[in-house]
């Protein structure tokens, strides 16, 4: 089963509203990655976080890695219709000795 949990499964927002997706692992992660999959497309790498408490920004996207390296979040400020897609987190752990993807959060944005 999934060792990396991601919530919510779906999120519908009005354009301009903020959006956050959360990722949690039962084990300590050595790193966490975030991917975006547009409808009909393939997952595309967004960012990788490695350090405890790390925060990285990409324009309106803010990524955080928890202090215990067991959770992460992706926050989008003032969503746009171009943000539509499914956002996946993926964590690497020595426990499962590989990368594991969360189930993804599907974001829809109403103009």
Choice between 2 and 26, CB closer to other proteins:
2
Smallest gap from Cβ 43 to other proteins, in A, equals 5
Choice between 67 and 98, CB closer to other proteins:
98
Binding region for other proteins (CB under 8 A): 2, 30-31, 33, 35, 42-45, 48, 88, 90, 92, 96-104, 106
Largest CA distance in the chain: 43
Which 3-state string (H, E, C) describes 8-50? CCEEEEECCCCEEEEEEECCCCCEEEEEEECCCCCCEEEEEEC
């Amino acid at each position: 089963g999934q060792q990396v949990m991601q919530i919510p499964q779906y999120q519908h927002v009005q354009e301009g509203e903020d959006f956050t997706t959360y990722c949690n692992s039962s084990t300590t992660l050595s790193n966490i990655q975030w991917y975006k999959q547009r409808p009909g497309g393939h997952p595309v790498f967004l960012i990788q976080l490695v350090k405890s408490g790390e925060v990285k920004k990409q324009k309106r996207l803010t990524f955080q890695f928890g202090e215990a390296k067991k959770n992460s979040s992706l926050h989008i400020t003032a969503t746009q219709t171009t943000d539509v897609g499914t956002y996946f987190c993926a964590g690497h752990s020595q426990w499962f000795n590989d990368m594991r993807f969360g189930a993804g959060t599907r974001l829809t944005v109403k103009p």
